[in-house]
């Protein structure tokens, strides 16, 4: 099992990633840290607690992190995630609160106690991870790796250059991508190869488990939002990034020196540049294999 801290800005696809992390027997989910991104920190934290409660895993610790980027104002994505971050879903409120320790302190303590074992799967803006590396630079050597959902080698989805998570805090991304910690970049080059159509998760509708029922509710909400934007597919970006260390055979990787642009019209771009840190970059992804993976873990009656 891979020991993973999931760092997320819980909107709709983050919510599916949380369910995946709980359901996947190859993942030991140590805790979840929250950051502002898709929506503000209050909502990303509340959504995380409520999703865990909905699937009966309120025992997993949730740790609140940074409420704004390192240097700029918060840029959110309510258009694609709804005002609260979970579309039009109304979840039962979890009676559990987040832990009384800051996300970066939790990360640091966990890494020190598990040297060389912890993978940080960062599927939101990189503000928490950058703050960790700035505050506790001595633990860089003890981090097994950082998997980033973000970036692209072929154009963005917020601007023509930048993907959302990197654009939301490029200064933080630059800290992470120059940290000398092993970084794996799961960007749009990989995730956009796995587009789900409305009937692709129909197998879950018959299962009637906590995992399957919640995933279907989220999936349907994503489609209602996508329909309003004239799109006929959804992409589970964060779930794809989550499994980069456990389902490596689904990915095609290349090594590239990646530099983050922090100024001008190319702000948020992840570009190949000789002065960048060598980074493991996903440039391909097996979409059919991913669908089989989703069926294997979410169709399990244990959920």
DSSP assignment string, the chain: -EEEEEEE--SHHHHHHHHHHHH-TTEEEEEEEE-SSSS-HHHHHHHHHHHHHHTT-TTS-EEE--SS-SSS-----HHHH-SSSSTT--PPPPSPPPPSS-HHHHHHHHHHHSTTTEEEEE-S-SHHHHHHHHH-GGGGGG--EEEEE---SS--SSSSS--HHHHH-HHHHHHHHTSSS-EEEE-HHHHTT-EEPTTTTGGGGGT-SHHHHHHHHHHHHHHHHHHHTT---EE-HHHHHHGGGT-GGGEEEEEEEEEE--SGGGTT-EEE-TTSEEEEEEEEE-HHHHHHHHHHHHS-TT-
User: What's residue 88's pLDDT?
Assistant: 87
CB atoms within 10 A of CB 106: 23
User: What's residue 164's pLDDT?
Assistant: 95
Q: Is the CB of residue 243 less than 8 Å from the CB of residue 249?
A: no
Q: Which residues contact 59 (CB under 8 A, 6 or more apart)?
A: none
Q: Is the CB of residue 149 less than 8 Å from the CB of residue 4?
A: no
User: What's residue 86's pLDDT?
Assistant: 87
CA 133 to each of CA 136, 191, 194, 200: distance values in angstroms, whole numbers, following the listed order: 5, 27, 32, 39
Of the CA atoms within 13 Å of residue 178, those in its CB half-sphere come to: 16
Average pLDDT per run of 10 along the chain, which is 303 residues long? Answer: 97 96 97 95 96 97 97 80 81 96 98 98 98 98 98 95 96 98 98 94 85 93 84 93 98 98 96 96 97 88 59
CA 159 to each of CA 133, 138, 156, 272: distance values in angstroms, whole numbers, following the listed order: 28, 35, 6, 18
User: What's residue 92's pLDDT?
Assistant: 94
Q: Is the CB of residue 47 less than 8 Å from the CB of residue 21?
A: no
Spatial separation of the C-alpha atoms in residues 69 and 40, rounded to whole Å: 11
Q: In what order do the strands lie in the sheet with 183-186?
A: 62-64, 27-34, 2-8, 118-122, 145-149, 183-186, 277-285, 251-260, 270-272
Name the active-site residue from 81, 102, 237, 256: 237
User: What's residue 303's pLDDT?
Assistant: 60
Dihedral sign, Cα of residue 39, residue 41, residue 44, residue 46? negative
Q: Is the CB of residue 43 less than 8 Å from the CB of residue 11?
A: no
Q: Set out the domains of the chain in order of their start, with CATH numbers.
A: 2-194+235-283 (3.90.245.10)
User: What's residue 147's pLDDT?
Assistant: 98
Is 102 catalytic? The answer is: no
User: For the whole model, what pTM was predicted?
Assistant: 0.96
């Amino acid at each position: 099992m891979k020991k993973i801290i999931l760092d997320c800005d819980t909107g709709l696809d983050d919510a599916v990633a949380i369910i995946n992390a709980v359901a996947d027997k190859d993942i030991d989910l140590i805790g979840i840290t929250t950051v502002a991104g898709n929506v503000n920190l209050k909502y990303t934290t509340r959504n995380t607690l409520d999703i865990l409660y909905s699937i009966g895993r309120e025992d997993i610790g949730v740790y609140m992190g940074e409420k704004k980027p390192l240097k700029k104002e918060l840029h959110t994505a309510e258009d694609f995630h709804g005002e609260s971050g979970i579309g039009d879903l109304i979840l039962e409120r979890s009676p559990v609160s987040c832990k009384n320790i800051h996300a970066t302190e939790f990360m640091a303590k966990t890494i020190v106690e598990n040297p060389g074992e912890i993978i940080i799967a960062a599927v939101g803006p990189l503000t928490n991870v950058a703050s960790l590396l700035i505050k506790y630079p001595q633990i860089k050597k003890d981090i097994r790796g950082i998997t980033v959902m973000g970036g692209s080698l072929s154009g963005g989805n917020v601007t023509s250059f930048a993907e959302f998570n990197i654009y939301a805090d490029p200064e933080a991304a630059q800290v992470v991508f120059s940290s000398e910690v092993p970084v794996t970049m799961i960007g749009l080059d990989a995730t956009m190869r796995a587009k789900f159509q409305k009937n692709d998760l129909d197998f879950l509708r018959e299962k009637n488990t906590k995992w399957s029922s919640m995933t279907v509710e989220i999936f349907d909400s994503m489609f209602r939002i996508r329909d309003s934007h004239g799109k006929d597919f959804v992409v589970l970006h964060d779930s794809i990034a989550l499994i980069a260390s456990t389902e490596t055979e689904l990915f095609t990787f290349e090594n590239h020196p990646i530099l983050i642009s922090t100024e001008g019209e190319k702000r948020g771009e992840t570009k190949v540049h000789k002065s960048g840190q060598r980074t493991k970059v996903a440039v391909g992804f097996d979409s059919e294999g991913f669908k089989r993976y989703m069926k294997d873990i979410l169709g399990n009656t244990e959920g």
